[in-house]
């Protein structure tokens, strides 16, 4: 079965992702921002399998879409995004390398300069 990631790519663009994060990272919180960065860097890694990329494209697409189950402007409005993104991280965990985590961590500190290493959730295969 061939999986064509390009047909799912219309729901996700690099610029929409970076626009969303640059505007909303502080509102989204450290955990959702961290997981989103990890997914992004996993998606652009050439070694990531297509199936994992489809999961990532769908979840990041949901994150950047303006329509949500819980509107972002409401209190707790990012809980649905967090659920989708966290589920995606767990599904593609085997594709997340230490190098990807390092890239995501460096970028996370741009938006959360006071974050400490212990604030960043662990992503370990179980």
Q: Which of 102, 59, 98 is nearest to 81 (CA)?
A: 59
Tens digits of residue pLDDT in 84-123: 999 999 999 999 999 999 999 999 999 999 999 999 988 8
Q: Examine residue 3 and state whether it is found in any structural domain, yes or no.
A: no
Contact 91, 55 (CB under 8 A): yes
* 61-90: average pLDDT: 76
Q: Examine residue 7 and state whether it is found in any structural domain, yes or no.
A: no
Q: Examine residue 65 and state whether it is found in any structural domain, yes or no.
A: yes
- Domain hosting 107: range is 26-113
How far from the centroid of its chain's Cα atoms is residue 55's Cα? 11
Higher pLDDT, 125 or 19: 19
Q: Examine residue 18 and state whether it is found in any structural domain, yes or no.
A: no
Q: Which of 22, 12, 19, 18 is nearest to 84 (CA)?
A: 12
Q: How many domains does the chain have?
A: 1
How many residues are present in the chain? 126
């Amino acid at each position: 079965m061939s999986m064509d990631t390009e047909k799912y790519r219309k729901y996700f663009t690099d610029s929409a992702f970076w626009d969303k994060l640059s505007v909303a990272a502080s509102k989204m919180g450290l955990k959702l921002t961290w997981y989103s960065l990890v997914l992004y860097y996993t998606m652009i890694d050439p070694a990531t399998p297509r199936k994992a990329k489809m999961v990532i494209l769908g979840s990041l697409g949901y994150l950047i879409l303006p329509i949500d189950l819980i509107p972002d402007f409401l209190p707790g409005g990012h809980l649905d995004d967090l659920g989708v993104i966290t589920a995606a991280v767990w599904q593609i965990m085997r594709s997340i390398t230490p190098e990807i985590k390092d890239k995501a961590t460096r970028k996370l500190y741009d938006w959360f300069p006071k974050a400490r290493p212990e604030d960043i959730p662990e992503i370990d295969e179980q």
